[in-house]
Each structure stands twice: as C-alpha cells, then as structure tokens.
C-alpha cells in the first residue's frame, strides 16, 4: 500500500467531512439538524468505502480522483463557481432548518435519500467502466475512448450521475432554497462539458467518431 497516497486520501476525506459539517451545523444553530446527520452518513460512508476499495484495487484511479488541480483556465472558473454554489446551498440548508423557511414533507426526504444512494451506485459503475476518469480535464498518456456500458448511452455519464446526485441533496437536507441554488449546476456543467469535448477532440484519437456514434452528451433525447 502506498502510504503517501493513503495519508493524502485520509486527509482530504476528514477535511471534507469537517468542512461540510461546519457549513451545515453552524447556520443551523446546533447539532439538532437531523437531515444534516443523514446527509453526512449518506455522503461520507460510501465515499470512505469507495476510497478504501480504490486504495487496494486501483490506486492510480484514486490518485487521479484526488487530483483536482485544473490546468485549463475555463475549468478553473467552473471549479470556482461550483465551490460557491455548494457553499451557498449548504449554508441555506442550515438557515432553512434554523428559521423554518420552507419545510419539506418527510416522504420527500426519504425519496431523495433513495435517489442519492442509487446515484452513488451509478457513480461507482462509471468509475469501474473508465479507468482514465480524472477529476481534471486532460488527455492521459495511452488513453483510449471508452464506449461501453453507460458510455454507450451518453458521452458524459459521470456528469449525468452527478447532476442527479447533486439535485437530490436538497431533498435529503429538506431544503427547497438549496434546490434552487443547485439548479445552477446545470449551466455550470454544460460549460464544463463544452470545454472538455474540445480538449478531447483535439487530443484523443477516436473521440470524433465516438461523438458521431453516441449522440447525447448528458441526458438521452434532450442534450
């Protein structure tokens, strides 16, 4: 086992856990916000399990997923906008609980939790299908076009899955204001995909043919 990679992964995991917890509980005014506890469990327990799995079975994939430093200027803007979006969504969720602005029925919270977990399973499937799946926009040495499984349906299944994942988060948190904020992920991810496709067309052999063969980028029959 790569001890350096392990320490990097564990450090980022606990930093993310503490940061998200603070963004939810501080505006909520305490630890009584039970939706936040539910969300933290649904988000970080599968994340920890997936990290352990990749550590032993695919350390190179884990290393790629930990590297979030973008080289493309346009993608740096996307990352910054995404960070601001999540910051606002989590803070609003806490305040929504604290002041009771727009409460949601319990059935929608549990339905959102189910969708969130199903999205996580699809996320794991995309990781299994594509060993080149970095968090940054790049063409890697020896990279080949992946066109099987979910990649035979849409060209960017990871983004399709994260769209469902992120839009289910406000339901888990019981926060309609957060849902309104996270709708901004749609134009953000469209911007990212357009830039990524240009990079892949210029640097990845066979991608132009793949793009002609698989018509839909994000959502079948829509875009």
pLDDT in tens, 83-131: 999 999 999 999 999 999 998 999 999 999 999 999 989 988 888 887 7
Per-residue pLDDT band for 52 (boundaries 50, 70, 90) equals confident
Give the C-alpha separation, 223 to 208, whole Å: 17
Instruction: Check if the beta carbon of residue 93 is closer than 8 Å to that of residue 178.
Output: yes
Measure the CA angle with vertex 194, ends 192 and 200; round to 5°.
100
CA distances from 62 to 80, 140, 214 (A): 22, 15, 28
Closest CA to 63 of 151, 138, 131: 131
Helix axis angle, 59-66 to 3-28, nearest 10°: 40
pLDDT digits (tens, 9 = 90+) for 117-168: 999 899 888 888 877 666 555 666 667 888 888 899 999 999 999 999 999 9
Domain residue ranges of the chain, discontinuous segments joined by +: 3-213
The fold of 3-213 is 1.20.120
Give the C-alpha separation, 200 to 207, whole Å: 7
**Surface-to-core class of residue 116, CB atoms within 10 Å of its CB (0-12 exposed, 13-18 middle, 19+ buried):** buried
């Amino acid at each position: 086992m790569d001890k350096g990679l392990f320490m990097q992964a564990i450090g980022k995991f606990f930093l993310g856990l503490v940061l998200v917890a603070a963004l939810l509980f501080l505006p909520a005014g305490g630890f009584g916000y039970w939706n936040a506890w539910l969300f933290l469990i649904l988000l970080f327990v599968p994340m920890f399990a997936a990290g352990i799995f990749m550590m032993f079975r695919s350390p190179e994939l884990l290393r790629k997923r930990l590297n979030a430093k973008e080289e493309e200027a346009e993608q740096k803007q996307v990352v910054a906008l995404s960070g601001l979006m999540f910051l606002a969504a989590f803070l609003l969720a806490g305040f929504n609980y604290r002041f009771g602005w727009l409460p949601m029925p319990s059935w929608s919270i549990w339905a959102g939790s189910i969708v969130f977990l199903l999205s996580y399973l699809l996320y794991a499937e995309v990781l299994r299908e594509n060993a080149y799946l970095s968090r940054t926009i790049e063409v890697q040495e020896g990279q080949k076009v992946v066109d099987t499984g979910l990649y035979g349906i849409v060209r960017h299944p990871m983004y399709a899955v994260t769209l469902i994942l992120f839009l289910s988060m406000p339901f888990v948190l019981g926060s309609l204001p957060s849902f309104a904020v996270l709708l901004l992920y749609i134009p953000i991810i469209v911007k990212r995909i357009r830039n990524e496709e240009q990079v892949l067309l210029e640097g990845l052999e066979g991608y132009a043919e793949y793009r002609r063969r698989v018509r839909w980028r994000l959502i079948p029959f829509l875009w």
